[in-house]
Amino acid sequence: MPVGDTRMNSGAPFAKAGGALSFFYAMRYNIHINNQEGSRMGHVLEADVKLTNGRMRFECTAGGNPPIVTDYIPPLGDGEGYMPLQVFLISMATCAGGAVTSLLRRFGRDLSAFSIHIAGTRREEHPTGFSRIDMALRVTSADATEDDVKLAIAKSEEKFCPVWAMIRGNVEVVATAVVERP
């Protein structure tokens, strides 16, 4: 299933100005998405993003949680926070990880440890988003089998991880898993 249309809407805040994105124009807008406490699917989530210096350092908050800081590497930024694509990788891994661990528990499997190493290969042309993401899952369980983990990964991709669903058809995702006994 293709992901939604990625063309820019000329009426959007990030409209082109003089052949390039106008960062000044875009930064005039307070990026705000409504959130409801305890929100469920179908509800709107919220995040607030505030420029905290004269460069590219942003403080980001959502749902009353502690802030995270994003920044770009020099020369655009000072390298004082996560790069936005790193935050995306964290979102992808925690979304997939949450789905996989929930499914394994639903299958009645015991988990004593779980981790994911995730790496994204960036495109060389702009926009330099990811062309491929590799996720290496490590499951430590007394009773989970490789087939259990493969099924949980497949269901995560197909149905339960919205971050994965949003990039399906645009980014190649390769998930591998190792199952270890405690």
pLDDT, position 42: 74
Distance CA 147, CA 37 (A): 37
Q: Where are the domains of the chain?
A: 20-70, 84-180
User: Which long-range contacts link 46-53 to residues 24+ away (Cβ below 8 Å)?
Assistant: 51/27, 53/78
Using pLDDT thresholds of 50, 70 and 90, give the confidence band for residue 65: very high
Sign (positive/negative) of CA torsion 90, 95, 101, 102?
positive
CATH classification number, 84-180, choose in 3.40.50.2000, 3.90.1300.10, 3.30.300.20, 3.90.420.10: 3.30.300.20
| Ordered alpha helix ranges (H), 33-145 | 84-106
pLDDT tens-place string over residues 143-159 = 999 999 999 999 999 99
| % of the chain residues with pLDDT over 70 | 77
pLDDT, position 20: 38
What's the distance, CA 82 to chain centroid? Answer: 13
pLDDT, position 154: 98
The residues near 167 (Cβ < 8 Å, ≥ 6 apart) are 3, 92, 130, 133, 173
Using pLDDT thresholds of 50, 70 and 90, give the confidence band for residue 40: low
| % of the chain residues with pLDDT over 90 | 76
Average pLDDT over residues 80-87: 98
Using pLDDT thresholds of 50, 70 and 90, give the confidence band for residue 121: very high
What's the pTM value of the predicted model, to 2 decimals? 0.77
Q: What values do phi and psi take at 15, rounded to 5?
A: -65, 150
The residues near 8 (Cβ < 8 Å, ≥ 6 apart) are 14, 15, 16
Average pLDDT over residues 111-126: 98
pLDDT, position 38: 53
Record the tokens describing residue 92, joined without a space.
């992808």
Average pLDDT over residues 129-139: 98
Q: Would the pLDDT of 1 be above 90? A: no
Q: Which residue has the higher pLDDT, 165 or 30?
A: 165
Are 104 and 148 contacting, i.e. CB atoms less than 8 angstroms apart? Answer: yes
